[in-house]
Chain A
């Protein structure tokens, strides 16, 4: 879905480096999410935001921080990267839940991060 974009698509970094992953969307959705995907562990929620002034921790927020710069932009930062943060990271957006047709989460293409 070209309406949700992520940069970079691939990144290799070293332990201890600070890194930022960026997400932009043109769907006009208020809700944005960051997930981490590891083999056999599914999609785990890191942080989510329901509007520019709203930031919430997900189930695995330790070692990560986020910034919602605008309705359309949601960034994920690793302040000091470590090898076990090597994973595939997805940004997603959604409309208000609870109404048919509005529950769908639209995912970005993903960022593959490797921490050496």
Chain B
């Protein structure tokens, strides 16, 4: 089955700097890759996703890149703000697949 590894487990950045979180996956048939953000005491919410037919997707200050050959994808947050502090989860799934497999999560702390 699919296995998703996520690094780093914790990340501290200064406000205004960029943050990058990387995930690797094992199932070469996976081709849907979402990212969820979980603020303290809240539920996870989708922030961005990408399918394997594109290499990069942007939404304002966040972007996701995908390298299918190397089987890894990354979340990039630019100009970080204190409200970006949260736990971020990556996940992978086959197209039309039954279930998501999540990474272990990254705690991002943005210091002001």
Using CB atoms and an 8 Å cutoff, list the residues of chain A in contact with chain B. Answer: 1, 33, 40-45, 48, 50, 56, 58-59, 90, 97-98, 103-105, 107-110
Contacts and interface: CB of A to CB of B under 8 A. Distances in A.
Interface in B4-59: 6, 9, 32, 34, 36, 42-46, 49
Nearest to A90: B43
Contacts of B89: 42-43
B39 to A, nearest CB: 12
Given A97-B96, A105-B100, A43 B44 contact: yes
Interface in B42-93: 42-46, 49, 89, 93
B4 to A, nearest CB: 8
A48 B99 contact: yes
Contact of A42 (B1, B34, B96, B103): B103
B102 A44 contact: yes
23 contacts: A1-B45, A40-B9, A40-B104, A41-B104, A42-B102, A42-B104, A43-B44, A45-B99, A45-B100, A45-B101, A48-B99, A90-B43, A90-B44, A97-B93, A97-B95, A97-B97, A98-B32, A104-B46, A104-B49, A105-B36, A105-B46, A105-B100, A110-B43
